[in-house]
Structure 1
Amino acid sequence: MATMDSNTPLQLVNWELAAASAAKLTPPGPKLSAREVQAVVENLRELADLSVEHVHRITGLEAARDLRDSELIIVDRASWAKANTQSFKTLMAPAIGHLVETRAEQLKAANAALGGAVTGAQMGAILAFLASKVLGQYDPFVASSRGPGGRLMLVAPNIVSVERELNVEPADFRLWVCLHEQTHRVQFAAAPWLRDHMMEHISELTVGLADKAEGIAERLTNALKSLPSKGGHTGRENDDDGVPPSDGGILSLLQEPEDKARLSHLTAVMSLLEGHANVVMDAVDSSIVPTVKTIRRRFNARGKTRGPVEKFIRRLLGLDAKMRQYSDGARFVRAVVDAVGMEGFNRVWERAENLPTEKEIHAPREWITRMGL
């Protein structure tokens, strides 16, 4: 039996198990020969480098000229999942530390080890699902090998899988994806304070949720009970697959007033980041990406082909809310740029006080007025 002394650290999430579980559960990607894999990797690196010039031209952000403190890595699904266990470990460290400090008596070593294995396996299952969906990700929270600036990951098998599914020109689709992801890298280079700002607010939110941990299971159970049985009805508007819409996934179950304020701010920031990247992505024309109109049309239609199980999982994890962040944020960015130009919009990267509120995301004129533009 495990014992605990003052030198025994509690592991409330077994991160090694999470990474191993994710790698085991992640479905295989498209079949490629070793030569094809090498060609895809080289092509993605070339297009990722090329996209930075376009990001600089479209955004006017001088940070695009120097991205030396971050790095670009091309990964497979298992490597993406493993990398994200490091990210989650970093983001959850304040909450876990808080639990250890405030509930040391309840968190005995044996129980913590058992609970850590369970949560590790659960985390692995979530990452396995996401590992086959994510095309790219800029992670600002784990320092790169080149400095504190984070790392941009392009998930090669997923990019190849989607370009085949959509039957689009591979080089065009890859450049289109790189434009979005490299914009995120440039955003954090343009606003070097943004990483710590987000970390602070994420820490406050997760620590606050940790204090309410006992109520999480009950709230989740009630939420699941509200789902319609086959042929049932909840009084809410459903999609044609019978899955009810969800506003924020699991996080929406946990909101006390103080949590709502924290989550509202993070939602606004994420909407800004994702919307800005989408605006850059959509600013290209056929002179840069010849088949861009076809790519946009087919990519936007992909969601209609998802089955009910995948749709439910996406909503449970809040991924549909993330998709709304793309469109809400893009409308905000376009409205501001149309009114005051890109230079006026770029005031948003100067300091934390210039970030839009969630209300301003939906009312861009209020942000413009507050900035004195």
Structure 2
Amino acid sequence: MNDNPGAGDPDGPKNPFEGTPFEQLFGAGGIPNMAGMPDLSGLMSQVQAMMQPYDGPVNWTLATDLARKTVAQQPDPSPSTAQQTAIADAVHLADLWLDEACEFSSGVTSTAAWSRAEWIESTREVWQRLVEPVAEHVVGAMGNALPAEAKAMAGPFLGMLTQMGGAMFGSQIGTALGTLAGEVLTASDIGLPLGPTGRAALVPANVATFANGLDVSADDVLLYLALREAAHQRLFAHVPWLREHLLASVADYGRGIAIDTAGIEEQLRSIDPSNMADLQGALEGGLFEPKKTPAQEAALSRLETTLALVEGWVDEVVGQATHERMPSAAKLQEAVRRRRAAGGPAEETFAALVGLELRPRRLRDASTLWGSLRTRQGTEARDAVWLHPDLLPTAADLDDPLGFREDLGTPTEMSEEDFDEALAKLLDEGGSGAPGTPPPPAE
């Protein structure tokens, strides 16, 4: 008979802290029975494994190690020379096609074929920037939320709580990044510039998995994904404010997370620590979930709109580049759209890491908007919208994508000077910020 209910016993009670930052602290070997004393030897073993020195709110050494172990659970060979050459050739051809589909020149300065482990290493710096604001808030709230009684029970462990929280966050991040590494197709697959500037990178192992069941040649799949990656690189290279705007928006969202420590403490006071059912019920009710403020809700809406506009522009430009050149493009476009719209483990991973869903919910509307603008006014007018963030379509514009910028007329109705004057007027009306400067974050 197992004397430790819930530890290794599938029929025993679940860990009441499952899904919270305390899960690993009070997991196997932690507190199996709140009415009794914890297994200190088991708990100290976990502490010793997690308490290696680190800087910042997250133990990134632990996170990277766990991410690598996660991807190592399945074969992850280094891309061959042939795969590297194939990707370089595909990106080069993609750039030639894109030259005729948009006003921006190539933004690619190098190409790469990444293994899943290489994707982790190559994107880690950006992930640190995105995740640490969230980690800092949550880890700090863990200690602040404990009522006096709980702090007394914690005793000598209280001083280690913050450091353990960072280690637990590192563990969760590592596992999540390892999972995400098994799905991403390119460096910009989730709509954010995660990789080094100007480097168009694909993950051949994941590309092969994506191609299964599409009834499209492997060469076409590779070229289509190279087109999307190269289009992202063009946009980020020639819209100087966009990269910083997206990354800062995500980080600011995480930094603004409000955790109701007073509410947590009040709920914890009402819980009988010897009653597992009470504790589990409180945790399942979202006891430790951060609350979104109205400012965050507004920021999230703006971020989702910008992501949709980026993905919609890429979708539209690649559609133009492949028109009359790649018969399978329509099938691949639909496969990518469904993959992005449906979400899945990759989007769930990001939601767990940063605290928001990173999904272009209105990709089709955005693609329609860009396509309509191009049809009426040409590629120059379509791409000129990226001159300044104040010119970008809003969520309301996506409600009527065919009506965006109808007041500017068409090239046959306006001279070049009139068109430039209209754009300048829009810039003046949009705000006083200088071109290339993102709008200030919402307070």
TM more than 0.5: yes
1:87 aligns with 2:122: no
Which residue number in structure 1 is paired with residue 57 of structure 2? 12
Residues 295-330 of structure 1 deviation map (CA, whole Å, 9 limit, x = unaligned):
446666779999xx9599579669986153432321
CA–CA distance in 2 between the matches of 1:369 and 1:222?
A: 53
1:25 aligns with 2:75: no
Q: Aligned pair in 2 of structure 1 residues 105, 310: CA closer, same or farther (>3 Å)?
A: closer
Q: 2:81 aligns with which of 38, 58, 61?
A: 38
CA–CA distance in 2 between the matches of 1:271 and 1:310?
A: 19
Q: Is the 8 A contact 2:76 2:116 kept in 1?
A: no
Q: Displacement, 1:215?
A: 9.2
Q: 1:137 aligns with which of 172, 187, 196?
A: 187
1:364 aligns with 2:407: no
- Written as runs of structure 1 = structure 2, the 5 A alignment for 1:303-318 is 313=348
Q: Displacement, 1:103?
A: 7.8
1:57 aligns with 2:100: yes
Q: Which amino acid aligns with 1:212?
A: I
Q: Which has the larger radius of gyration?
A: 2
Q: Is the 8 A contact 2:350 2:356 kept in 1?
A: yes
Q: Displacement, 1:60?
A: 2.0
Q: Displacement, 1:94?
A: 5.0
Q: Aligned pair in 2 of structure 1 residues 327, 194: CA closer, same or farther (>3 Å)?
A: same
Which secondary structure state, in structure 2, belongs to the residue aligned with residue 356 of structure 1? Answer: coil
Q: Is the 8 A contact 2:120 2:177 kept in 1?
A: yes
1:155 aligns with 2:203: yes
Moved more, 267-276 or 328-337: 328-337
Q: Displacement, 1:59?
A: 1.2
Which secondary structure state, in structure 2, belongs to the residue aligned with residue 59 of structure 1? Answer: coil
Q: Which amino acid aligns with 1:26?
A: V
Q: Is the 8 A contact 1:29 1:157 kept in 2?
A: no
Which residue number in structure 1 is paired with residue 367 of structure 2? 330
Residues 66-122 of structure 1 deviation map (CA, whole Å, 9 limit, x = unaligned):
544xx432211122133333212122445567789x989959862222111211111
Q: Aligned pair in 2 of structure 1 residues 337, 29: CA closer, same or farther (>3 Å)?
A: farther
Q: Which amino acid aligns with 2:200?
A: L
Q: Displacement, 1:213?
A: 6.6
In the alignment of these two chains, the number of paired residues is 327
Q: Displacement, 1:159?
A: 0.6
CA–CA distance in 2 between the matches of 1:298 and 1:197?
A: 28
Q: Is the 8 A contact 1:30 1:160 kept in 2?
A: no
Q: 2:376 aligns with which of 339, 354, 363?
A: 339
Question: What is the RMSD of the two structures over their aligned residues, measured on CA atoms?
Answer: 4.3
Q: 1:78 aligns with which of 117, 120, 126?
A: 117
Q: Displacement, 1:357?
A: 1.9
1:348 aligns with 2:385: yes
Residues 151-190 of structure 1 deviation map (CA, whole Å, 9 limit, x = unaligned):
4331111012222343421111100011111111100111
1:117 aligns with 2:167: yes
CA–CA distance in 2 between the matches of 1:124 and 1:311?
A: 14
Q: Is the 8 A contact 2:91 2:200 kept in 1?
A: no
Q: 2:178 aligns with which of 109, 113, 128?
A: 128
CA–CA distance in 1 between the matches of 2:61 and 2:305?
A: 33
Q: Aligned pair in 2 of structure 1 residues 366, 265: CA closer, same or farther (>3 Å)?
A: farther
Give ranges in structure 1 of 5+ residues lacking alignment. Answer: 3-7, 227-250
Whose helix fraction is larger, Structure 1's or Structure 2's? 1
Q: Aligned pair in 2 of structure 1 residues 44, 224: CA closer, same or farther (>3 Å)?
A: farther
Q: Displacement, 1:15?
A: 1.6
Q: 1:212 aligns with which of 248, 259, 273?
A: 259
Q: Displacement, 1:257?
A: 1.0
Q: Displacement, 1:290?
A: 4.5
Q: Is the 8 A contact 1:94 1:203 kept in 2?
A: yes
Percent identity of paired positions between Structure 1 and Structure 2: 22
CA–CA distance in 1 between the matches of 2:263 and 2:313?
A: 33
Q: Is the 8 A contact 2:260 2:291 kept in 1?
A: no
Residues 311-367 of structure 1 deviation map (CA, whole Å, 9 limit, x = unaligned):
995796699861534323212222322332221111222112112222222233664
CA–CA distance in 2 between the matches of 1:326 and 1:312?
A: 15
Q: Which amino acid aligns with 1:171?
A: D
CA–CA distance in 2 between the matches of 1:23 and 1:120?
A: 13
Moved more, 80-89 or 127-136: 80-89
Q: Aligned pair in 2 of structure 1 residues 305, 334: CA closer, same or farther (>3 Å)?
A: closer
CA–CA distance in 2 between the matches of 1:133 and 1:354?
A: 34
Q: Displacement, 1:16?
A: 1.9
CA–CA distance in 2 between the matches of 1:153 and 1:90?
A: 20
Which secondary structure state, in structure 2, belongs to the residue aligned with residue 212 of structure 1? Answer: coil
Q: Aligned pair in 2 of structure 1 residues 222, 103: CA closer, same or farther (>3 Å)?
A: closer
CA–CA distance in 2 between the matches of 1:337 and 1:38?
A: 40
CA–CA distance in 1 between the matches of 2:141 and 2:123?
A: 27
CA–CA distance in 1 between the matches of 2:341 and 2:253?
A: 33
Q: Is the 8 A contact 1:22 1:82 kept in 2?
A: no
CA–CA distance in 2 between the matches of 1:223 and 1:272?
A: 37
Q: Is the 8 A contact 2:119 2:181 kept in 1?
A: yes
Q: Displacement, 1:57?
A: 1.2
Which secondary structure state, in structure 2, belongs to the residue aligned with residue 73 of structure 1? Answer: strand
Give ranges in structure 2 of 5+ residues lacking alignment. Answer: 1-43, 48-52, 146-157, 268-280, 409-421, 424-443
